[in-house]
Amino acid sequence: MTTLQILSSKQRSALWGSLLRGRLCDLDLSAENLRTGLAEIGHPVTIQAIHKWLRGAGSPNLVNQEAIAYVLKCSPTLLFPTRALR
């Protein structure tokens, strides 16, 4: 039986980092490409922040989540789910 598991903050950051790395890989983009794309739409972030997100050591805020999804041409819920299937 499949259930939804609410994730802790640490688990969520790790999952989001993994999904973000996967999406960048799917699009053949780098962290620098993401930084540039975010800056172009008015959401400048540092490359250090992006690397922190990719490592799962932190999470982007809601505004940045929307902007990241826009730049990566996908739904924010695809990259930043709050629950995981178990």
Read off the pTM. 0.88
Instruction: Count up the domains in the chain and report the number.
Output: 1
DSSP letter for each residue of the chain: ---EEEPPHHHHHHHHHHHHHHHHHHTT--HHHHHHHHHHTT----HHHHHHHHHTS----HHHHHHHHHHTTS-HHHHS-SEEE-
* CATH code assigned at 44: 1.10.260.40
Residues spanned by the domain of 25: 4-85
pLDDT, one tens digit per residue, over 2-24 is 555 778 889 889 999 999 999 99
Give me the pLDDT at residue 84, please.
Answer: 60
Give me the pLDDT at residue 86, please.
Answer: 54
